[in-house]
Amino acid sequence: MTDTNTHSDTLIIGGGLAGIATALRLVESGQKVTVVETRKRLGGRATSFEDPTTDDLLDNCQHVLLRCCTNLIDLYQRLGMANQIQWHKTFYFCNNTGHIDVMQSDDLPAPTHLTSSMMGFKGMSWSEKFAISKGMLAVMKLGIEGRKKWHHRSFADWLKEHKQPAGAIQKFWACVTISALNEQPQNMAADYALQVFQEAFCANSDAYQMGLPLVPLVKLYDSAQEKIEKSGGQVRLRTSAHKLLFEDGKITGLKTGDGNILTADHYVCTVPFDRCAKLCNDAMLKADSRLKPLGQFGVSPIIGIHIWFSHVVMNLPHMALTQSPLHWIFNKDTDGAGWQHLHGVISAADDLVSLSADQIKDMVVEEMRKVLPKVGTLEPVQYRVVKEKRATFRLSPGIDDIRPGPTGAIDNLILAGDWTDSGWPATMEGAARSGYRAAGAILNQGDNLLIPNLPDDLLYEFITG
């Protein structure tokens, strides 16, 4: 039945980052919106869960942002949560012998700001550092248009063409891109890998800085519901979207799992591509070319493991492992009993996701022993493995051929989500950008709601021409 009290200016399907970003920009422009979300809190995949054994809120995986994520930072500011992001200017890279190299910026302008620290890396040979330097210069000289020409080839192809040795790939190029893009170099579109280095490492001296939330992820989004409802809108939690209703070339309603029909002038679908496909009928697929490739997207998994030791085994705030199946360790601090909580992350985990939780725990502890001497013979007092089997869409060469834009033939159906054409890979920044693009489409502002990139340093502009 039609719920006559719920007609909105815009109905947003999905309360993840893209849905929140869309909603906030619309309500700030005076729109009445309704957000439909299956979960009991907003946040989508970048969220937290309650550990049934301890009642603690645990993040499903450690999500990070960089200073170059201008739209995500803007979203946190609109949520009043920017002060809950702690920024790190120092990165710690650890090789398989436990040696730690430190990367941090000096006072030189980009792209030279990280050169002195990277040249001091003891875990790399001089030939590897020289090859990386030549590679980074090639990255810069490509520019935006040059990198786009590599979209249909893999990053492994680019590395081979630029004669990068195996050690440089393992200790630097792959270390960065696997974590950033959740894909192996041989399987990722080269232009997105190149974008990471251009925008995060080369163009601006602050762009590389890493932000880590000080609170569980889900708490970053709590204020969104209040802002939406204060504007006269609604947030319908624990409400599943069942089917979009389509008639005379337009969406006429959303049927929910409880049988209600919600109506609006515009409908924004922010759920993942596979869920979006289930909401559409055959007539919609024929009417709008954006919807036809929804079944062609692949997925890439991430494994997170929360692990507690009986005393402090790691003093650094985080550590990137360069020669290990375990890619990151984050220090989540100690509790009242003195137990230290560490969070390990394994990206592009296709080969490991089928392992049992015990097998993953054993592997992670063994890798931690190699880089954290204080672990020694200790066994964890507690652990929790989280498998995100569909964590991100697969960033394959040519993926932009099927990533849809916000608007199409069904003019009151707007698409958003990190898998849509945001100009970014599968990241929280990509999700925020897609939400701002969706709001811009509804408000007839195009991409004017997007937050500009950080300005390029003058030296980088000179080098890139």
Owning domain of residue 309: 299-393
Nearby residues of 220 by Cβ (< 8 Å), 6 or more positions away: 43, 76, 79, 81, 84, 213
Which of 208, 242, 272 is the last residue before a domain boundary? Answer: 208
Q: Same domain, yes or no, for 275 and 415? A: yes
Q: Same domain, yes or no, for 233 and 159? A: no
Contact 317, 323 (CB under 8 A): no
Domain CATH number, residue 310: 3.90.660.10
> What's the pLDDT tens digit per position in 378-434?
999 999 999 999 999 999 999 999 999 999 999 999 999 999 999 999 999 999 999
Q: Same domain, yes or no, for 261 and 178? A: no
> What's the pLDDT tens digit per position in 43-78?
888 788 888 877 788 888 888 999 999 999 999 999
Contact 7, 263 (CB under 8 A): yes
Region 73-98: mean pLDDT is 95
Is 284 a domain residue?
Answer: yes
Contact 267, 407 (CB under 8 A): no
pLDDT band, very low/low/confident/very high, at 98 (cuts 50, 70, 90): confident
Q: Same domain, yes or no, for 110 and 203? A: yes
Q: Extract the runs of DSSP E, i.e. beta strands, from 85-144.
A: 85-88, 90-94, 100-104
Region 137-166: mean pLDDT is 97
Q: How many domains does the chain have?
A: 3
Is 461 a domain residue?
Answer: no
Whether the per-residue pLDDT at 232 is higher than 70: the answer is yes
Region 219-232: mean pLDDT is 94
Domain CATH number, residue 422: 3.50.50.60
Which of 158, 185, 208 is the last residue before a domain boundary? Answer: 208
